[in-house]
Each structure stands twice: as structure tokens, then as C-alpha cells.
Amino acid sequence: MKVSPIIRQSIWIAWLLIVPIGIWITYEVHPPSSEISVWEVLPFLILMSVVAAMPMVVNNTPIFLIQWVSLAVFLTYGIFVEMILMQISVLILLMRLRVQKSDAYRFPLNSLMFFIVSLLSGLMFYTLGGSHGDHLTKDPYNLFLGTVYGISNYGVNTIFLVLLQAFVLKLKGPYFGKDFIWETVTTLITFPIGFVLYELYREMGLMSLLFVGIPFASLSIILSLYYSSDKVNQFLQSAAEIGHELAERLKADEVLDLFVQKLIEMLPVDYAYILDVVDGKELKLIHKIEFGEVLEPVANPLRKGEGISGLVWAEKKPVLFNSKNEWKQINSGYVPHSAESILSVPIVRNNQVVGVLVLAANKKRAFEKSQLMIVDILCSHFAIAVENARHHEKTKENSERCALTGLYNYRYFENLLTSEFEKLQFGQRDLLSLILLDIDHFKSVNDTYGHQSGNEILIELAQRLNERIGDIGTVARYGGEEFVILLPDMMKGDAFKLAEQIRLLIANKPFTLLQSMDEEGKQLLVNITASIGVATAPHDADDSLALIRHADRALYVGAKRSGRNRVAEYVK
């Protein structure tokens, strides 16, 4: 979480003004007993250090079960000793979490927070008449004051965290999520243990730390392992759900976009790259996201073994680097030099690497080994989903395209025309013009030069029509030697002019027969013409079939019967 430089400076200044002076005042007002020795307090410090070194991290918030030890220390030695040991424990916790230099403000911030928590809860205890060293079982009021101390300790800590999230880190609610529930439950569990430790220490001395500390340290480990396994189970469940979502996508681009989006939502990713293996020779960058922004994947290809992604391709194994020191000797490839953590996984299909995923973050130790396993599973889902989507796209394209010319076929055109007419009826289109074209005397061309030559003419005509129409409409082979062009939002006059241009494009330029030669051994050129009919909805037709029928009538009545090689428009 980014914190502005002004806030960071304010935190350091607040710590300098409050914590050192506050600890000195606490010592002057509530000094520890002169009978206390360092060796007597040292076992408690060791126990608190061990507990601080085993935090659970819930939603990126560290939870360490230390309240029970601090309660026993406070009831035994008073506020000053508890305050000092808690400050040392917080330092150990942050060192265990390996806070980066950019987040160094967390040291004074947490120190300040736990100082205030110790101070306010201790003052509450003393204000109500509490004192340390008394038996809790002999006087129920002492047990009550110890409970008040524990509740105020937890309450002040919770309030401080909420204020920190709202005003310093600028996080939006809710503030009482899973981490709050975990901390509340563990606090309820651990505070009674603090009372037990306090009473046992009065009776048994340092042996009590072994009887209570070792079992509780074991409990901390068990809870930490439980949370880790629970988090892995959640990742596995998310991976299964993402796998189902990927399988539902029928376009390869949609599969790719969804895959990267889900990874960014699941993991702390600053940079994401997907590379495709091209002809088994090189890696080509096909998807690039940096700080949530999709960028143009323009980059030089990488060879096998080149860069981190090339290394993953060559070894067919995922890699996880926690800091730049682990990979700085390797050419990073596309990964920026500002990155620290890198997670890269091969995308494997049929035991062959078909691509490589690279995730990176500017933060050290951003990724965990369990996440590497989850991403590896997701890459398997991704590879299957992409292949299925590409197969579906190919099958769909084959069913919609004319095998000879590559144009859309009658089935696709009919569905498109129906869809466009619905838009016309609902006001999403103003006009819908249609051009129907038929080659003149095409049978004689086939009879003279052969059907293969006729096919060559159809292929070249399809290319000419595609080049001329471009994105302004859709060209389809209507059947045999007939072609149709659908032109959304084009006026009838403009459609007529376009049809005339197409007529001239056909009539004025001979067609080349690649497999036929003239008497001089040159490729044969054939001149052909076409008759064209034009109709426009809604003026000429109320439905899609009527639009085709009326364009066909203009073609045969207005063009063919009038001598061919001409354009005619439908007239009611």
C-alpha cells in the first residue's frame, strides 16, 4: 500500500516525540521493582520473541498471538517491563515479515501503536485501583481488573487499526473482515492462558513457562499451519472456478483476457506477460499488462534459454524468485529492472511447452510457493481452454465460410441479415442496402475453359470485392456465381454508385486463368461482366426475405433482361 512521503515523515516525527519520551515518563511514574533482574525477565522476552516470530498473515495483516504473554508480564512486573518487551517483540515481528526499505515507516508506526495500546490499557488498570503481584484467585476484583486490562488492550488496538486503515492507508471498508474475526477469536482463546501463566509463575517460577509456553507455541504453529492450508484450499477452489470460467469462453482472446484478469485479482501482480512459442524456435510476446494497463505487446522475440521466460521454456519447469538478488545474473527478458519478485510457469499442452507465463512484482517475496502451484494448475486449464476455443473458432469459421472463395457463405449471410433487420426495426439502424451480383454467361466460361478456370475467376472476383468493400459492409457468396453485399446505414443512391464501381471493376480488368495458357504460352486473360441489383430497406422491403427478393428482381428484370453488364435498382 502506497503511503505519501508527508505521512511517512509525520509518522517518524510522531514516534520521536511520543515513544522515547513516553517510555521515560512511564519509567518515572511506574518504575519496575528494584528486585527484578534481567535474567528473571529474559525467559519472558524469549517466549514473546518466539510467538512474535510465528505470525499468521490474514488479508496481508499479520496476527501474532502475543497478548497472553504480555498480560502475564504486565500482571507480574508492571507497565514499564511489559511496554519494553512488547516494543522488542514488535521489532522482531517486522523483521520476521522482512519489511522493505520503502515500507520502513511501519517500524515507527507499529512501535507507536503498541506503545499507545500498552499505555492506555495500563492506565485503565491503575486508575481502577489495580496492582501487580497479587493473587487473582484470592480477590475476584483483581481478576476483574485483569479482564478490564485485556479488553481495553484489545479495544485500543482495534480502534487504532481502524483509524490507521481509514486515514493513513486510505483503505475503504469494511474494516471488520476475516482478519478481524481471526484476531478476535484468537484473543478470546489466549487471554485466559495469560491468567493461567501468571498464576503458575507465582507458584512454580520459570517452570511455568515450559508448561504453558511450549504447548501454546505448538498451538501457534498449528493455527498458522491451519490458516496456511485453508488459504491453499481457497486458492484451489478459486482455481477450479476459474478453470470452469475459462472453459466457457469460446474465443481465444476472451480466454486470454479472463486468465490474466483472474491472476491479477488473485495475486499481487504489477507486471504480467504471456509469451507464445512460435514454430518451436522462439518466444513471441502476445500479451502485456503493467500496473493493470493492457499495453501493445511489441518486443523482439526470445530464443530458448534467453531470459527468464526462455529458461522456463528450456527446462519446462516453473521458477520463483523472491528478490532481484536471485535472478539479477539472468537476462530478465521483458521484465523491468524495478521488479523484485518473479513467478514464471510454462504453459504445457500434450507434454509440449506452447507458451510461458511471467508474473512480476516490485515487492520482495510477493509470491508464495503455494501460489506457484496454483498458477501451474491454472496454466494447465488455460492451455486446454485456449486450444478448445481455437478449435471452436476454426470449426465455426469453416461452417460460415465458403471453402473455395473464403467469403462468408449463405448460412452466415442469412443470420447476419436477420440480425441487421432486427436492428433496423429497433431503431439501431436507419437504412440497410443490399447489392446482389451475378456473373454474366458464367456457364459458357466453364464450358470454354473448364470448371477449374471458372473457380479461379470466382476466387479472384471474391478478392476484388473484399478489397473494394473493406469495412463498410459484408461480402458473401450467395450461391454458384452469385455474390451479395450487405451495407448497413448506406443510402440507396450511394449503394447504386458503389454497385456501378463494382461493375466497372469487373468489366474493365480481365481475369487471369493461372492454369491456362494462350497460343504464345502466356497466362490466359478472360473478360467477364456482371449484372447487379440494388434494394434498400425499409423503403423497398419490410423484412429480410423481401429485401433479397427485391434485389434479385432488380438484378434479373432491370439488369439481365435489359442487356446485362449493368446495375439496376428495385422500383416498386
* pLDDT tens figures, 42-53: 988 888 888 787
For the chain, how many helices (H) and strands (E)?
A: 18, 16
What is the mean pLDDT of the segment spanning 15-37? 91
> Taking the domains of the chain in order of start, what are their residue ranges?
5-205, 248-394, 410-569
Q: The C-alpha cell of 571 is what?
A: 422500383
Whether the pLDDT of residue 201 is over 90: the answer is no
The CATH number corresponding to 5-205 among 1.10.1760, 1.10.3470, 3.30.1490, 1.10.30 equals 1.10.1760
Place of cell 472456478: 241
CA gyration radius for the chain?
Answer: 38
Specify the pLDDT at position 324. Answer: 87
Nearest-angstrom CA–CA distance, 124 and 152 = 8
Whether the pLDDT of residue 446 is over 80: the answer is yes
Nearest-angstrom CA–CA distance, 23 and 503 = 95
Report helix angle 178-204 to 140-163, nearest 10. Answer: 150
Task: Give residue 37's identity as a one-letter amino acid code.
Answer: S
Tally the residues of the chain: 572
Nearest-angstrom CA–CA distance, 337 and 218 = 41
What is the mean pLDDT of the segment spanning 262-266? 86
Specify the pLDDT at position 403. Answer: 86
Nearest-angstrom CA–CA distance, 559 and 285 = 53
Whether the pLDDT of residue 233 is over 90: the answer is no
Q: How confident is the model at residue 13 (pLDDT cuts 50, 70, 90)?
A: very high
Whether the pLDDT of residue 468 is over 90: the answer is yes
DSSP conformational letter for 524:
E
Specify the pLDDT at position 22. Answer: 94
Nearest-angstrom CA–CA distance, 569 and 540 = 10
Nearest-angstrom CA–CA distance, 57 and 63 = 6
> Of 34, 187, 19, nearest to 111 (Cα)?
19
Q: Would you state the CATH architecture of domain 248-394? A: 2-Layer Sandwich (3.30)
List the single range of 96-100, 267-271, 560-564 with lowest mean pLDDT.
Answer: 96-100
Specify the pLDDT at position 15. Answer: 95
Q: How confident is the model at residue 301 (pLDDT cuts 50, 70, 90)?
A: confident
Specify the pLDDT at position 74. Answer: 92
List the single range of 266-280, 390-404, 470-484 with lowest mean pLDDT.
Answer: 390-404
Question: pLDDT for 268-297, tens place per residue?
Answer: 899 999 999 988 888 998 889 988 888 888
Task: Give residue 560's identity as a one-letter amino acid code.
Answer: K
Nearest-angstrom CA–CA distance, 506 and 555 = 16
Q: What pTM was computed for the model?
A: 0.58
Q: How many CB atoms lie within 10 A of CB 126?
A: 16
Question: pLDDT for 487-506, tens place per residue?
Answer: 999 999 999 999 999 999 99
Bridge partners, 284 (sequence order): 276
Nearest-angstrom CA–CA distance, 79 and 73 = 8
Pairing of β 567-569 and β 530-537: parallel
Specify the pLDDT at position 2. Answer: 64
Which residue would you say has higher pLDDT here, 473 or 220?
Answer: 473
Which residue would you say has higher pLDDT here, 226 or 292?
Answer: 292
Specify the pLDDT at position 519. Answer: 56
Question: pLDDT for 188-199, tens place per residue?
Answer: 777 788 888 888
Pairing of β 432-439 and β 482-488: antiparallel
Question: pLDDT for 311-357, tens place per residue?
Answer: 999 999 999 998 888 888 887 677 888 888 999 999 998 888 989 99
Q: Are 309 and 275 in contact (CB under 8 A)?
A: yes
Q: Are 390 and 445 in contact (CB under 8 A)?
A: no
Whether the pLDDT of residue 548 is over 90: the answer is yes
Range list of β-strands (E), 341-473: 341-349, 352-361, 432-439
Q: How many CB atoms lie within 10 A of CB 152?
A: 18
Whether the pLDDT of residue 435 is over 60: the answer is yes
Bridge partners, 474 (sequence order): 486
Bridge partners, 344 (sequence order): 319, 358
Q: Are 334 and 299 in contact (CB under 8 A)?
A: yes
Nearest-angstrom CA–CA distance, 93 and 89 = 6
Place of cell 521484465: 335
Specify the pLDDT at position 173. Answer: 63
Of the CA atoms within 13 Å of residue 291, those in its CB half-sphere come to 5
Residues with Cβ within 8 Å of 231's Cβ and at least 6 positions away in sequence, in order, are 370
Residues with Cβ within 8 Å of 130's Cβ and at least 6 positions away in sequence, in order, are 142, 145, 146, 148, 149
Q: How confident is the model at residue 223 (pLDDT cuts 50, 70, 90)?
A: low
Q: Where is mean pLDDT largest: 52-61, 153-162, 331-340, 544-553?
A: 544-553
Whether the pLDDT of residue 78 is over 80: the answer is yes
Task: Give residue 128's identity as a one-letter amino acid code.
Answer: L
Q: How confident is the model at residue 551 (pLDDT cuts 50, 70, 90)?
A: very high
Specify the pLDDT at position 174. Answer: 66
Phi, psi dihedral angles at 304 (to 5 degrees)? -60, 130
Nearest-angstrom CA–CA distance, 35 and 379 = 64
Whether the pLDDT of residue 21 is over 90: the answer is yes
Which residue would you say has higher pLDDT here, 99 or 370?
Answer: 370
Pairing of β 319-321 and β 474-479: unpaired
Provide the terminal-to-terminal Cα distance of the chain, rounded to the nearest Å: 71
Task: Confirm or reject CATH 3.30.70.270 for domain 410-569, answering yes or no.
Answer: yes
What is the mean pLDDT of the segment spanning 224-231? 68
Bridge partners, 277 (sequence order): 283
Q: Which residues of 237-265 are buried (b: 16+ CB within 10 A; e: fewer)?
A: eebeebbeebeebeebeebbebbbebbbe
Q: How confident is the model at residue 416 (pLDDT cuts 50, 70, 90)?
A: very high
What is the mean pLDDT of the segment spanning 521-538? 89
Whether the pLDDT of residue 252 is over 60: the answer is yes
Question: pLDDT for 51-69, tens place per residue?
Answer: 787 765 555 555 667 888 8
**Which H or E run includes 516?**
strand 511-517
Specify the pLDDT at position 56. Answer: 59
Phi, psi dihedral angles at 58 (to 5 degrees)? -115, 120
Q: How confident is the model at residue 299 (pLDDT cuts 50, 70, 90)?
A: confident
